[in-house]
Structure 1
Amino acid sequence: MNEARTELAHFLRTKRHHVSPAAVGLEDHGRRRTPGLRREEVSLLSGVSLTWYTWLEQARDITPSRQVVDALAKTLRLTEAEHSYVLRLVGQSAPRPQDDVDQLPAHAQQLLDALGDSPAYAITPTWFIIGWNSAYQAFYPGIAAVPPEDRNLLWLVFTDQQVQSLHTHWDVDSRHFLAQFRAETGPRIHQPPVARLVERLRQASPDFRAGWAGHGVEQFSARERQFRHPVVGDLHLAHHRLSLTDDPGIDLVVYTAVPGTGTAERLAQMQSDPDEVGPEASNLHAGQPSWGGWRADARRRPGPERPSCAASQR
């Protein structure tokens, strides 16, 4: 069975269950066996035959037109990101998924290094981190010590306690990350590298398992975010993401200081002598390496290891 059709079927069912009859102007005549709309109601409201829509939810070998997708998006109250996601699943307006690159090109690493005190890293289409600058290593000293197969942004967000402790609003941030990951990997969601990552996360994190079942989808948007660093304290950062036109399989994630918050000074302090550690550095999680130990390890390393994505996905 086609993997994209299977994902589309699951997605449509999930969204149908989240739309109330009242939201689309229908009267609710008593208790329903399942929440949300019935298939026949979606069919009627979208101007699609019941048989055709049922086949979509059964992952049958059919291809809906743009007109059908647009009608379903309106009925199911899909967001712009969700609408685009469905279009990609059915092969419309969807660029070919990029293969993961083996390593970060030298010119991209030079760009990261030129960002100075702004923490920045590079990720592949499946969110494996393949490069970073010294500011990011000071922000998250554990990055160099993480095994290559675990050096995945989504994996770290949901399983690494030090990463979680950096996020002042981890519960909100993690939901954004998960929905963005699903939106970007939807067409390849059943390919072995992504499937293995998702299964590992399901086993390792109840929060991921619950969030993944919700089929949330959203596009990345630049926003201001708050962090709590154990050495320099509160950081108010603007979160940006840039694509390389000559390397479309690589995105650069950059955090810049929000003016007027004192963050620029704290970012500069963060990269100063690692031995000048404030009392907040003692706030460690039991059973995990200390921040001080990670920083010492980072000083011993000549630079970020460049794992091949093929090795990371095995």
Structure 2
Amino acid sequence: MTTTAQETAPHSRPRDEGSAVRRHELAAFLRSRRERIAPEQVGLPRGRRRRTPGLRREEVAQLSAVGVTWYTWLEQARDIQVSVQVLDALARALLLDPTERAHLFQLAGAVDPTPATACPSVTPALRSVLEQFEPYPACVQNSRYDILAHNRTYGLLLCDLEAVPPEDRNCMVLSFTHDEWRSSIVHLEETQRVMAARFRASMATHLGEPAWKMLLKRLSAQSPDFREAWDRHEVVAHRGKRKEFLNRYVGRVRVDHTDLWLGPGAGPRMVTYVPADEASRERLERLHAIALERGPTSPG
């Protein structure tokens, strides 16, 4: 493959701040993926004098059939044009899985084949669905993990959500900084790592947006655990999973987590927790009864 049309010198025209942030994210992501691949995985000899963890830059360039200088510019966050063909070659050379490949294309500013959709408002009908899901916990979240609405059982599942200021009702903030919420998650470290990876994947299309940057800045300033997870540069797909919580009122609860998407894109979703066993079902019913005694939830 020839790359003369793609290996152009860095542009001098002014670019928006989001593009600059995206280029630096792309550079860091490429480095992290390159350094995790052993030479033997791609059929290259290790040699005795290898100092670089994983692959060298020239090896990635060779495997992708692009120029070494051009690939170096990419890892230096230079302002250069990247074609879909080159992105495809890099994804294959770096052994990216489907989620990582999508993340690469987003960071490079390539057109996503899935049409984007705007986040819908939380309508009365949607709130009614949340209530109908009781006694099981459910809430509506956006891709930034803001809790937009929740039913009464969810409001007592990990903490007293009504006591949390509306501006702090964000699952990332709560999972990394709120003591009661954190203590309610049985597998906290694994949960935090997956959430950070999902947040990174979602943020690729929102890098220049103030709300996303403010949330990232807040988490980085307030949580060493978040900084450690964020520095891994991991991205994962959204998927259902069994979870375990230790509720202050009813004890251990095991649930199956499902995201019900409210549009074709990876944006707003209804998060539902269905009991994974009979004991958990009985405990969620007791938790719902306690929540009913405490009165209705607030709108947000």
TM superposition score category, shorter chain reference = 0.7 to 0.9
Post-superposition shift, 1:250?
Answer: 2.4
Matched, 1:36 2:47: no
The alignment's C-alpha RMSD in Å is 2.3
| Contact 2:219 2:226 (8 Å CA) reproduced | yes
Which residue matches 1:111? 129
TM-score by length of 2: 0.86
Which residue matches 1:72? 90
How far, CA to CA, are the matches of 2:269 and 2:87 in structure 1? 29
Which residue matches 2:283? 266
| Contact 1:21 1:36 (8 Å CA) reproduced | yes
Residues 214-246 of structure 1, C-alpha deviations (whole Å, 9 max, x = no match)? 111001111111222122112110001111139
Matched, 1:122 2:140: yes
Q: 1:220 to 1:9 in 2, by over 3 A?
A: same
Residues 265-310 of structure 1, C-alpha deviations (whole Å, 9 max, x = no match)? 1100112246xxxxxxxxxxxxxxxxxxxx99xx36x42242xxxx
Q: 1:98 to 1:211 in 2, by over 3 A?
A: farther
Matched, 1:45 2:63: yes
Q: 1:247 to 1:186 in 2, by over 3 A?
A: closer
Q: Which runs of 5+ in 1 are unaligned?
A: 275-294, 307-314
| Contact 2:37 2:55 (8 Å CA) reproduced | yes
Superposed counterparts of 1:133-144, under 5 Å? 133-144=151-162
Q: Which amino acid aligns with 1:263?
A: S
Which residue matches 1:180? 198
Which residue matches 1:304? 298
Q: How many residues align?
A: 281
Q: Which amino acid aligns with 2:205?
A: P
Post-superposition shift, 1:95?
Answer: 5.0
Q: Which runs of 5+ in 2 are unaligned?
A: 1-14
Which residue matches 1:201? 219
Which residue matches 2:210? 192
Post-superposition shift, 1:187?
Answer: 2.0
After the TM superposition, which parts of structure 1 deviate over 4 Å for at least 4 consecutive aligned residues? 94-101, 246-249
Query: Identity of counterpart residues, as a percentage?
Result: 36
Superposed counterparts of 1:1-314, under 5 Å? 2=19, 3-90=21-108, 91-93=110-112, 95=114, 104-245=122-263, 249-258=267-276, 260-273=277-290, 299=294, 302-306=296-300
Residues 78-110 of structure 1, C-alpha deviations (whole Å, 9 max, x = no match)? 121101111222323255766666x52211111
Post-superposition shift, 1:66?
Answer: 2.5
